[in-house]
Amino acid sequence: MGERAYDRAVRLAGVALAAAVFLFLIAPLVVLVVSSFSPTGSMAFPPSGFSLRWYAEVLGSPDWQVSFRLSGLLVLLVVPTTVVIGTLAAYGLAQGSFPGRRLLTGLALSPLMVPEIIIALGLLYYFHGVGLINSLPGLWLAHSLVALPFVVRAVMVSAAQLDPVLERAATSLGAGRFRVFRTVTLPLLRPGILAGAILAGVTSLGEVAVTALVAGANTTTVPLRVFSAVQYQLDPSMAAVSTLLMAASVVVMVVADRFARISEAL
């Protein structure tokens, strides 16, 4: 009997610990979302009522509209760029056998190992020289650079599980190399590609360190505007912006997950 009580206590303690960790992770997001509906200008938590005035303010502001458009455009540019380059790189690195493969793998993932501020400084000097500071192509390149290793990493996980015998089977049925890649390899890499695309999108959407150095007055992305805004006025409009960004990420992930699971489960 004593042993059973002990087992129960241990299990309860485990559940409590897990709940505490989960709460710790989600608390900042909950506070943010709740504050965004505050009717007053104070950030006091919990808020005293419910209103959508901060959403109206943010969405009505021309400055914010420009930033939203810029950030959205960057995601649309960065995701396809990094997905194409990252998928091909990951497939080659995971399945190929050539000298220097390990070195190249390390190189492809190196932006993950280097502090972002160092990459930012490098890009700052370089873009200054070629005149890409404060321009859309500059941000496109910078964000792609930061997001690419995430895609490579995610696709490599799928590519490492890819059974080369499947490609052989397709070849034996008469399919040439390109056809095999298109009809067998790519569909099997899809989970990794989707995960990589989401990571790339979220990275681009939230990037601050590199963006801060290579952007300028005409190219203020949403996170940059949040960053500068909170330094002057701390009101719930920032919470509203963050909630919108979060909602966008959640929608993308739910759709992608549904898409991936539909293709796999059927």
Q: Does 95 bind another protein (CB under 8 A)?
A: no
Min dist. Cβ of residue 265 to another protein (A): 9
Residue 70: which of 205, 236, 188 has the closest Cα?
205
User: Which CB atom, from 171 or from 249, has the smaller least distance to another protein?
Assistant: 171
Q: Does 40 bind another protein (CB under 8 A)?
A: no
Residue type, position 128, single letter: H
Q: Does 260 bind another protein (CB under 8 A)?
A: no
Residue type, position 122, single letter: G
Distance CA 46, CA 75 (A): 33
Q: Does 7 bind another protein (CB under 8 A)?
A: no
Q: Does 166 bind another protein (CB under 8 A)?
A: yes
Min dist. Cβ of residue 187 to another protein (A): 5
Q: Does 174 bind another protein (CB under 8 A)?
A: yes
Which of 188, 212, 246, 248 lies at the binding interface for another protein (CB under 8 A)?
188
Residue 52, classed as helix, strand or coil, is: coil
Distance CA 146, CA 78 (A): 10
Taken as a whole, the chain contains a residue count of: 266
Which of 83, 94, 184, 197 lies at the binding interface for another protein (CB under 8 A)?
184
State the CB neighbour count (10 A cutoff) for residue 218.
10
Residue 200: which of 68, 114, 85, 119 has the closest Cα?
85
Residues that bind another protein (CB under 8 A): 163, 165-166, 168-176, 179, 183-184, 187-188, 190, 263-264, 266
